Structure 1
Amino acid sequence: MDTRVKKGHNVVLMSNHQTEADPAVIALLLEKTNPHMAENMIYIAGDRVVSDPLCKPFSMGRNLLCVYSKKHMCDVPELVDMKRRANTRSLKEMALLLRRGSQIIWIAPSGGRDRPDPATHEWQPAPFDVASVDNMRRLVQHAGVPGHIYPLAILCYDIMPPPPQVEKEIGEKRVISFHGAGLSIAPEISYSDIALGGDEEEAKSVYAKALYDSVNEQYKVLKAAVHGKQGLGASTPTILLSQPWTYVTRTRSGGQSNQKVQNQ
């Protein structure tokens, strides 16, 4: 993945989203094994990372493009137009960056943070928004340089879990603690390989589901490693766990798979 970026290609990481600390956690987990990614990754972040005093410290030193989530777009009716204009500016900036090439962009197409299932109280990645996935895919496709989309899973909600329900106001109650965290990046998923013929709208849904299913699969392995206390023993034939200080690559079909998991 790093090699592609250094050759001028764009890389987009479609990820689940657990807390406002995600950018800081990702950078910390990558800094030993992939320092270029850790330093240069651009995060598509919600406005709370720069407006909530508790969340601001986690964003310091990170490269951010801020957008307003669909979930909070209409919280204050008189601010809707301002939020839409701000999102348009961020979209244009993202398109310009992608045209330059060599960009690493992290985005959470669920439009918000993961939350526990009300019935089981188990945490799981929130479903991806099909339109958000497709908008990002088309930006990559029309950038004029090669682009690649990878599914990424992160597990770190215990560090600063969000409240069970979506809050409209800044200042929600938060609890911060020390806990293990995990990160996994799976091989690239190409739209052309997933959506072969058929209805275009159906193809968009199939592609978004393929990315989400990969994130979900990786998340289960991270959960077994961190919360199930299996550590590296939670590895599977397709997901190889390692620690940041003992990074191992797995070869697959004669080449590097770019699949890795780091947890600490």
Structure 2
Amino acid sequence: MGEKKYKFGLAHDAMREPFDYYAWGCDFFRPAMNMKQSVFLGEDNLKKAMEQLEAGENVVFLANHQSEADPQVVSIAFEEMGFAQLGADLRYVAGHKVTTDALAIPFSMGRNLLCIHSKKHINADPETKGEKSKQNMMTMSSMLDKLKVGGTALWVAPSGGRDRRDVETKEVPLAKFDQKTVDMFRLMGSKSKKPTHFYPMAMVSYELCPPPDTIEAGVGEQRNVRYVPIGVSVGKEVENTGGKESRHLFTDHAMEAVEEDYQTLLKSIEEKAGEQ
């Protein structure tokens, strides 16, 4: 793509016209989703989150991350649960790959993004570490501005990357949430002076577009899209537990909720497959 490659700002708004990149991205992946065997849970929790957003409060979904198609998975899951507009309005905290990889860029253009560099990416090149850290600070400032306005919905994967398959067991364990990341989002919510609510979100999407078994620093990884069922579960709002000395409890509770709902999704998808 060279010089013509689209350049993302710190905060990117979905491009819906003259070409609708959002709808195009959903339409691209939808045929690969086995909807008859897919499972979507937590409609009541999603309804509560929507009511909070409509009241001018903020909502942050703390999710595991399995596939480059996760934004499309979320949108289609929200559509199925009756919250299509929230699926379109949701803003994703995005790492460098989805804004620099030539194949990922068109899909990212259709999403509301906050563009950051993961800790792994920042530390990969000492010469650019300072510049990337500065950009992250500017992105956090932009995010805080949006939270101060209120009615902002964010999706973030606190693990900092996608879940990876265990090559020996062939299972896909969840990558653990990073406590400092969760703490930072809680701090931003507090600084916004607007009520900010956190919901755990479990996702089953690995087989739709599996990532490499090992973490690759560069871009241009091989992709394989498969026809499989997907799963999304929005859990109950995480209680605001854990003071300064025990703030890890909040992250632990969120991670435990995602783990539990993830297993429920896997079991439910398997049961649906057995019925057909």
Under a length normalisation based on structure 1, what TM-score does the superposition of the two structures give? 0.81
**Conservation of the 8 A alpha-carbon contact between 2:76 and 2:84:** no
Q: Are residue 158 (structure 1) and residue 198 (structure 2) matched? A: no
Aligned residues between the structures? 226
- Paired residue for 2:259? 216
- Distance in 1 of aligned mates of 2:259 and 2:91: 23
Q: Which of the pair has the greater relative contact order for Cα pairs under 8 Å at 6+ separation?
A: 2
Out of 38, 52, 57, the position equivalent to 2:87 is 38
For 1:50, the aligned partner's letter is T
Q: Are residue 185 (structure 1) and residue 234 (structure 2) matched? A: yes
- Percent of pairs with identical residues: 35
- Distance in 1 of aligned mates of 2:103 and 2:67: 12
Query: How far is the alpha carbon of 1:57 from its aligned partner?
Result: 3.2
For 2:192, the aligned partner's letter is A
- Paired residue for 2:74? 26
Structure 2 unaligned residues grouped into runs of 5+: 1-48
**Conservation of the 8 A alpha-carbon contact between 1:31 and 1:39:** no
**Conservation of the 8 A alpha-carbon contact between 1:17 and 1:113:** yes
- Paired residue for 1:106? 155
**Conservation of the 8 A alpha-carbon contact between 1:49 and 1:56:** yes
Structure 1 unaligned residues grouped into runs of 5+: 234-264
Q: Are residue 16 (structure 1) and residue 64 (structure 2) matched? A: yes
Larger helix proportion, structure 1 or 2? 2
Within a 5 Å distance, the mapping from 1:41-80 to structure 2 comes to 41-80=90-129
**Conservation of the 8 A alpha-carbon contact between 1:23 and 1:58:** no
Under a length normalisation based on structure 2, what TM-score does the superposition of the two structures give? 0.77
**Conservation of the 8 A alpha-carbon contact between 2:57 and 2:150:** yes
* Cα RMSD after superposing both structures: 1.8
- Distance in 2 of aligned mates of 1:134 and 1:164: 29
- Distance in 2 of aligned mates of 1:182 and 1:60: 24
Out of 77, 82, 86, the position equivalent to 2:131 is 82
**Conservation of the 8 A alpha-carbon contact between 1:16 and 1:126:** yes
**Conservation of the 8 A alpha-carbon contact between 1:2 and 1:36:** no
**Conservation of the 8 A alpha-carbon contact between 2:98 and 2:105:** yes
- Paired residue for 1:260? none
